[in-house]
A and B are shown apart, each in its own frame.
Chain A
Amino acid sequence: MTRWELLRSEIESARDLKKQLWETEIIKLLTRLSSHGLCGAHERYRVKRRSNAVEIEPRAGATMPTVKAHVPAILLKELPHLDDPKLAFRIALHRDGRLEQYTMSLVGKDKSTGAPWYVRIDLDDEQKGEGPCGHPLRHAHIGSDPSNKHAQPVRVPLPWLAPHDALEWMLANVAPALEPPATSPPAAE
Chain B
Amino acid sequence: MSPLADAASPLADDTIGPAAVFELAEPISIAIFHDPSSRDELIERLAALASPTATKLVRSGEEALACARDEALVLVDPSNPAATVTFFDRNRDHFTLGPARFVLLLMRGGSGERALQDATSLSSFARDASFEVGRSPSIAELEKTFEATHGKSFTDWLAEWRSGALPDTLENNHILSEALSLEEGRP
Instruction: Give A residues with C-beta under 8 Å from B.
Output: 21, 23-25, 27-28, 31, 41-42, 44-46, 48-53, 55, 57, 64, 66-69, 71, 88, 90-95, 100-103, 105, 107, 120, 122, 125, 128, 145-147, 149, 153
Contact = CB atoms under 8 A, between A and B. Distances in A.
Given A95-B184, A125-B180, A49 B41 contact: yes
Given A23-B48, A28-B51, A120-B170, A45 B16 contact: yes
B16 A49 contact: no
Interface in B42-99: 44-45, 47-49, 51
B180 A101 contact: yes
A120 B173 contact: yes
A139 B177 CA distance: 16
Nearest to A67: B171
B2 interface: no
A51 B47 contact: no
Given A45-B15, A102-B177, A146 B44 contact: no
Identify which of A95, A101, A149 gathers the most chain B CB atoms within 10 Å of its CB: A101
- Interface of A, helix, strand, loop or mixed by DSSP: mixed
A21 B173 CA distance: 22
B25 to A, nearest CB: 13
A92 B177 CA distance: 5
Contacts of A64: 170-171
Contacts of B169: 66, 146-147
A8 B14 CA distance: 38
Given A41-B23, A51-B185, A69-B150, A27 B180 contact: no
21 contacts: A21-B44, A23-B45, A27-B45, A28-B51, A31-B49, A42-B19, A42-B23, A48-B41, A52-B180, A55-B177, A64-B170, A64-B171, A67-B171, A68-B171, A71-B174, A90-B174, A93-B181, A101-B180, A103-B170, A128-B168, A146-B169
A49 B174 contact: no
Contacts of A91: 177
Contacts of B175: 69
A107 B174 CA distance: 15
A45 B13 CA distance: 11
B167 interface: yes
A92 B185 contact: no
Contacts of A93: 181, 184
Identify which of B45, B174, B185 gathers the most chain A CB atoms within 10 Å of its CB: B174
Contacts of B51: 24, 27-28, 31
